[in-house]
Structure 1
Amino acid sequence: MTRKKLKKLGSDERFTFQATYAGIGMKRTMRGKINTRFLPTILFEHVMLGDQEVTDHLWLNYTKKFAELGLLTKGEIIQFNARVHRYKKGYAEAKVTDYGLQRPTKVSIIKSLTEDRAKLPPLPDEKNALIGLIMKTNKDTYLKSGRGFDQWYVDQYEAWLRTESNLTKY
């Protein structure tokens, strides 16, 4: 299913979107024949441009700007600027063209579900630890689907937690 509303916007300018935070995940990329790399992703639902929903869901790279928001709660509304981009999804001959968003900037929470965000634990600022948090959060799903669960990354997250002195209160 092509995201036709995003396609119509084009990629010539940046737009301000609002979206509902729905979760975190990861994608696997291959470098060479044996080197797998995991990249953190963030899932949004009900991606809006003004009062129009442009897509029911969308995965974006989990950029530093999203991480700076801290631990998010499902249902919070996030605002960001981004460009539409065209990409291929699927495998081999089954690849299809779709449209997504890229290079988010001016990221902010416009509707929080948490009374005091300062009391939430911070997110790891180290990529392997962040992948570990994602794997730990989605462990059951990843194990059931055979989708790249690796305890080493979870261990990196737990080691990061132990080294963060300000996390003892959580």
Structure 2
Amino acid sequence: MRRILNSIGSEERHTFQANFGKYGYKRYHDPIRGELYSPTMVVRNLEMVDDPENPQLISDHLWLNLTKGFKDLGLLKEGDRIQFNGRVSEYSKCFIKKDKKDYELTYPSKAQLLTDRNTQKLPDDHQVLIGMIMNLNYKFYNNLGRPLVPYFMDAFAKWQEEQETPLPIKCHKGNEYESSSKYDALDYKEEKNAYDQERQKREDKRLKKQAAGLKLLQTKSDLVDDLISLGKKLKAEAQDESLKEYCYISNSKLSKVLIQHKIEKAKQANIRQALNSEWFHEKFDDQNGKELSPLEQLANKFNQN
């Protein structure tokens, strides 16, 4: 390829056709701005078609900058046939010695999609576009250990949510590689199934504790009465609305009651979950239940302190 491009020269612009391969990015370090990312694309079976009747094969693949003309073609699929004009340019391949010369096609113009189909518009925003590419190539980049920066990937996920017709690209979690900032994790479809399974495991564990706690409470009516009395007292004092699901009884208050009833500490977690059950809430909310008199409330207060 290097010899062919060199022989073409850089004096004139030429017309090329190729099959689209995939999107990518290149990363380079700026002394002031740090790591920078630039969108690219690879084309395959690149041909020069100045003479359409006699196309000249230039390369089996070639990376190009994803310029505005290529972006305006919309979301391309592998195998889409494109055409563009470009000029051969020489550049230094090595970063330090700069002693290796290579050739590329620069300043592409008049980009066309020859494949007859409609495409969806690509993001205009650079941050979102890089995020799109990282999500699109997630498995490939993840296996290679390439950066999947949340700053870009989360931006694309938010952009997707705002579109009437989102791009057919799954959103994933980024990693913290080369990212000095922390970003709020989003809910991604790729991880949703695993998340739901883990949440279900926690819920099953909680329900198991609740069942054990209910079994114990249903055999100890005096304990239930004391817990209901305590909960009503705490509700009247409006101590902590966040404890409403546990009938206003905190762990520390529950512990004192269980000590009085000589209940093992190991069973406290089960009983606490039982306080959150429909069975206990029905008893707690029973309007016919016994309300504490002011004197009983005072006595109960001394007992719990």
TM-score interval, smaller chain: 0.7 to 0.9
The 8 Å contact of residues 25 and 41 in structure 1, kept in 2 or not, is answered as yes
| Higher mean C-alpha displacement, 40-49 vs 144-153 | 144-153
Q: 1:108: which partner in 2? A: 112
Matched residues in 2 for 1:33 and 1:141: separation? 30
The alignment status of 1:57 with 2:56, answered yes or no, reads no
Matched residues in 1 for 2:2 and 2:83: separation? 20
Q: Which has the larger radius of gyration?
A: 2
Deviation at 1:92, TM superposition (A): 3.4
Deviation at 1:76, TM superposition (A): 0.9
- Which of the two has greater helix per residue? 2
Deviation at 1:91, TM superposition (A): 4.7
| Higher mean C-alpha displacement, 33-42 vs 126-135 | 33-42
Q: 2:279: which partner in 1? A: none
TM-score, normalised to structure 2's length? 0.50
- Could you list the per-position Cα deviations for residues 68-93 of structure 1 after superposition, in whole angstroms to 9, with x for gaps in the alignment? 11111110110000000111224535
Return closer, same or farther for 1:169/1:73 CA change in 2, 3 Å cut-off.
closer
Q: How many residues align?
A: 163
The 8 Å contact of residues 76 and 109 in structure 1, kept in 2 or not, is answered as yes
Matched residues in 1 for 2:33 and 2:72: separation? 32
Matched residues in 1 for 2:73 and 2:89: separation? 24
Return closer, same or farther for 1:158/1:95 CA change in 2, 3 Å cut-off.
farther
Matched residues in 1 for 2:58 and 2:98: separation? 24
The alignment status of 1:148 with 2:151, answered yes or no, reads no
- Specify the SS of the correspondent of 1:161: helix
The 8 Å contact of residues 24 and 41 in structure 2, kept in 1 or not, is answered as yes
The alignment status of 1:82 with 2:86, answered yes or no, reads yes
Deviation at 1:57, TM superposition (A): 0.7
The 8 Å contact of residues 6 and 55 in structure 1, kept in 2 or not, is answered as no
Q: 2:165: which partner in 1? A: 167
The 8 Å contact of residues 3 and 54 in structure 1, kept in 2 or not, is answered as no
Return closer, same or farther for 1:43/1:168 CA change in 2, 3 Å cut-off.
closer
Return closer, same or farther for 1:81/1:31 CA change in 2, 3 Å cut-off.
same
The 8 Å contact of residues 17 and 82 in structure 2, kept in 1 or not, is answered as yes
Matched residues in 2 for 1:136 and 1:168: separation? 13
* Residue of 84, 102, 124 corresponding to 1:98: 102
Return closer, same or farther for 1:92/1:110 CA change in 2, 3 Å cut-off.
same
Q: 2:245: which partner in 1? A: none
Return closer, same or farther for 1:31/1:18 CA change in 2, 3 Å cut-off.
same
The one-letter code of the counterpart of 1:58 is L
- Specify the SS of the correspondent of 1:144: helix
- Specify the SS of the correspondent of 1:132: helix
- Could you list the per-position Cα deviations for residues 35-75 of structure 1 after superposition, in whole angstroms to 9, with x for gaps in the alignment? 11100001101110121111111111101111111111110
TM-score, normalised to structure 1's length? 0.87
- Specify the SS of the correspondent of 1:92: coil
The 8 Å contact of residues 160 and 167 in structure 2, kept in 1 or not, is answered as no
Q: 2:135: which partner in 1? A: 136
Matched residues in 2 for 1:169 and 1:133: separation? 9
| Higher mean C-alpha displacement, 58-67 vs 155-164 | 155-164
The 8 Å contact of residues 26 and 37 in structure 2, kept in 1 or not, is answered as yes
Q: 1:5: which partner in 2? A: 4
Matched residues in 1 for 2:162 and 2:94: separation? 40
Deviation at 1:4, TM superposition (A): 1.0
The answer to which structure, 1 or 2, has the higher relative contact order (CA under 8 A, 6+ apart) is 1
Matched residues in 2 for 1:95 and 1:142: separation? 30
Aligned-residue sequence identity (percent) comes to 35
Matched residues in 2 for 1:168 and 1:63: separation? 22
